[in-house]
Amino acid sequence: MPAARAETIRLSGVGPGTYALSVVHDENDNSRLDRFMGIPREGFGFSRNPRMRMGPPRYEEARFPVSGASLRQVVRMNYLL
């Protein structure tokens, strides 16, 4: 696996509210999260970096408030296979 590097994604025009992020590292550029027997074969992550269990986290575990001020979310990528 190549060395990790940080990437920055900037979103603008996001109105106040409560949001959650999910991020997928689409390694083979096929526009989907590839799985083997239900287990992700590509990297994935969620806002607030909730503890991983079977399946994705609940919205409540990944949500965060946006008030209009600049905000930073650091998403840790998970690679299982």
pLDDT in tens, the chain (81 residues): 455 678 888 888 899 999 999 999 999 999 999 999 999 999 999 999 999 988 999 999 999 999 988 899 999 999 997
For the CA atoms of 35, 22, 26, 5, the dihedral, rounded to the nearest 10 degrees, stands at -120
Burial classification of residue 66, based on how many CB atoms lie within 10 Å of its CB (0-12 exposed, 13-18 middle, 19 or more buried)? middle
Residue type, 76: R
pTM score, two decimals? 0.85
